[in-house]
Structures are given as C-alpha cells and as structure tokens.
Amino acid sequence: MSVNIIKAGRIVRTSKNLRGVLDYARVSPVRRVETTPLPAGAGSLRVLYRDGAETRANFESYEVMLDWVKRRRSWAGAAFVNY
C-alpha cells in the first residue's frame, strides 16, 4: 500500500504504509476521519488534517479499518463520520 498526503493539490509526503498517516498527524493534528464501507467487506478511509492536507487509503476489511482508526489515541479530538 502506498499512501500520499496531499495539500493544495500537491503531494507533500509519500509513505509505503500507514505509518505516513500517523507521522503527518504529528505535523498537523487530524481534524476529521471519514470511513466508508465498500463492496466485498472492504473499506475506504479519508483523513483530513487541520492544515488542509488529506489522505486516502483502502483496506481489504472494513472491520479491520474501523479497529485501526479506533486505536488512534492522538485522533481522539477529531470528528468521525461513517458513511
């Protein structure tokens, strides 16, 4: 999985895994987390940061994604939206 952090239409960071999502949250706190179930039990994650950056990632399992998001203590103040 490759993850890009995008701000103002430009890629500002790239990571080989979800670690990049967590590392960027130290630069700019997470403002909003959006989760969406996809067909066949998969899930889509969108994270919006306070500085206007965002990232998206797809998970093979919606339940695994929700569990991963719930374990992010540093995201406790963020708005969570399930679609």
In angstroms, the CA 50 to CA 32 distance is 8
CA–CA gap between residue 67 and residue 43 (Å, rounded): 12
On the question of pLDDT at 1 being above 90, the answer is no
- Encode pLDDT of 27-83 as tens digits: 999 999 999 999 999 999 999 999 999 999 999 999 999 999 999 999 999 999 998
Q: Give residue-wise pLDDT tens across range 3-23.
A: 999 999 999 999 999 999 999
What are the boundaries of each domain within the chain? 3-82
Q: What is the pTM of this model?
A: 0.94
**Burial class of residue 55 (count of CB atoms within 10 Å of its CB; 0-12, 13-18, 19+):** buried
- In the prediction, which pLDDT does 82 show? 93
User: Does residue 81 contact residue 35 with C-beta atoms inside 8 Å?
Assistant: yes
